C-alpha cells in the first residue's frame, strides 16, 4: 500500500464523516468512512479498471463481496486476506461458472464447474 493518500468527504470536528473517497496509488476507495477497527462497506477501484464491491478491512477485501475484473470475469463470495474466497461463485469472460473455494484467486480443492 502507498503511504500517500488523498481523503475527500465531509469533515466535522477534524474527522471525516459519512461517505468518503480515499485515493492511493494502488486503489480508490468509495464508501462509508471505515470504523475505528478498519471495517467498512464500499468499493475499491484498481488502476487496471477492476472493481471490488463489498465488505473491507483496512482497505483489503474481507467479508462478503464481489470482484469484477477489467477482462469481464467476476468472483463473488466470502473474502479473507484480500486473495482467498470461500463459498465462491466465479464467472469467467466466456460465461463458465466455478463454485467452490479460491486461494490466491485460484480454484482450490473441490470445485464444481457449470458451462455457459
Decide if 33 is inside a domain: yes
Indicate the number of domains in the chain. 1
In percent, the amount of the chain with pLDDT more than 70 equals 97
CA dihedral for 65, 78, 55, 47, sign (positive or negative): negative
Task: Kindly report, residue by residue over 84-113, the tens digit of the pLDDT.
Answer: 999 999 998 888 898 999 999 888 888 788
Decide if 49 is inside a domain: yes
Decide if 96 is inside a domain: no
Decide if 110 is inside a domain: no
Task: Kindly report, residue by residue over 11-63, the tens digit of the pLDDT.
Answer: 888 877 788 898 999 999 999 887 777 788 999 999 999 999 999 998 899 99
* Cell triple for 106: 485460484
Decide if 78 is inside a domain: yes
Residue span of the structural domain in which 15 resides: 6-85
Decide if 91 is inside a domain: no
Amino acid at each position: 500500500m502507498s503511504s500517500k493518500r488523498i481523503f475527500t468527504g465531509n469533515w466535522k470536528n477534524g474527522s471525516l464523516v459519512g461517505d468518503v473517497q480515499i485515493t492511493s496509488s494502488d486503489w480508490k476507495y468509495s464508501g462509508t468512512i471505515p470504523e475505528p477497527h478498519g471495517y467498512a462497506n464500499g468499493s475499491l477501484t484498481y488502476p487496471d479498471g477492476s472493481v471490488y464491491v463489498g465488505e473491507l478491512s483496512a482497505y483489503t477485501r474481507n467479508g462478503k463481496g464481489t470482484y469484477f475484473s477489467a477482462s469481464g470475469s467476476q468472483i463473488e463470495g466470502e473474502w479473507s486476506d484480500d486473495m482467498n474466497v470461500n463459498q465462491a461463485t466465479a464467472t469467467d469472460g466466456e460465461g463458465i461458472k466455478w463454485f467452490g473455494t479460491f486461494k490466491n484467486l485460484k480454484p482450490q480443492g473441490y470445485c464444481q464447474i457449470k458451462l455457459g
